[in-house]
């Protein structure tokens, strides 16, 4: 399993080629395990044994993690992993799924590291700042916002007057006057 971590992590593709490769690797592993002595099992049974062992190791790791985080002042309760269980942890990359180690394939949700988020945010901010870094660019941007047009020699300012505000009483009196006419 240590030589074929994709098989240990169950990361082989679920295509026909990936399944064939998985079956081939399990058959090789079955022949090696059966040659070492009893128990003698087929590939499906050895897969089940490995899946059960992997699940038991996951439970121990989770128990250890949760007992570290518990409060109450009591002693730390730890389930010690055997050498075989340590090999399963290393082959299957179980610490990565529990601890979230960087640069390691892990199970479950893949999130961006904090450094990537910060660098992306600073790049966006620097791009926004660079829009107004040149005075000419800034004048063009401002002129486009306020409605000035640059003909080269002269600038024409296009201004629009806002309609006068009509308050509620004025509106009522105007409607009354219009009704009388």
Are 81 and 35 in a shared domain?
yes
Does residue 65 lie in a domain region?
yes
pLDDT above 70 as % of the chain:
52
Which are the contacts of 93, defined by CB distance < 8 A and separation ≥ 6?
Answer: 5, 8, 9, 104, 105, 106, 107
- Can you read off the two tokens belonging to residue 143? 């002129």
63-107 pLDDT, tens digit per residue, is 988 888 887 777 888 899 999 999 999 888 887 644 555 665 555
Domain that holds residue 160: 114-180
The number of beta carbons lying within 10 Å of the beta carbon of residue 90 is 14
Q: Which of 99, 128, 147 is the last residue of a domain?
A: 99
pTM confidence score: 0.52
User: What gap in Å lies between CA 162 and CA 160, rounded to an integer?
Assistant: 6
Are 53 and 132 in a shared domain?
no
For residue 35, is pLDDT > 60? yes
135 falls in which pLDDT band (50, 70, 90)? low
Report whether 10 contacts 107 (CB < 8 A): no
Report how many domains make up the chain: 2
For residue 181, is pLDDT > 80? no
Does residue 160 lie in a domain region?
yes
Which class for 109: exposed (0-12), middle (13-18), buried (19 or more C-beta within 10 A)? exposed
Does residue 109 lie in a domain region?
no
User: What gap in Å lies between CA 62 and CA 94, rounded to an integer?
Assistant: 10
Are 118 and 47 in a shared domain?
no
Are 46 and 120 in a shared domain?
no
Does residue 108 lie in a domain region?
no
143-172 pLDDT, tens digit per residue, is 555 554 445 544 444 555 556 666 666 666
Are 121 and 154 in a shared domain?
yes
User: What gap in Å lies between CA 28 and CA 19, rounded to an integer?
Assistant: 14
DSSP 3-state of 155 = strand
Q: Which of 99, 123, 143 is the last residue of a domain?
A: 99
Are 87 and 141 in a shared domain?
no
Q: Which of 99, 130, 165 is the last residue of a domain?
A: 99
């Amino acid at each position: 399993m240590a030589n074929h971590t994709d098989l240990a992590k169950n990361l082989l593709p679920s295509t026909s080629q990936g399944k064939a490769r998985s079956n081939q690797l399990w058959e090789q592993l079955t022949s090696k395990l059966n040659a070492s002595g009893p128990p003698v099992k087929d590939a499906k049974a050895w897969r089940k044994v490995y899946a059960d062992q992997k699940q038991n190791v996951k439970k121990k790791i989770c128990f250890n993690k949760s007992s570290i985080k518990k409060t109450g002042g009591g002693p730390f309760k730890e389930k010690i992993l055997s050498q075989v269980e340590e090999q399963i942890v290393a082959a299957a990359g179980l610490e990565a799924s529990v601890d979230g180690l960087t640069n390691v394939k892990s199970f479950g949700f893949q999130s961006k590291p904090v450094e990537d988020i910060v660098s992306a945010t600073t790049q966006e901010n620097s791009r926004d700042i660079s829009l107004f870094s040149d005075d000419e660019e800034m004048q063009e941007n401002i002129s486009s916002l306020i409605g000035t047009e640059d003909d080269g020699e002269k600038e024409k300012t296009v201004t629009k007057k806002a309609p006068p505000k009509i308050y509620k009483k004025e509106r009522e009196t105007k409607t009354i006057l219009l009704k009388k006419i």
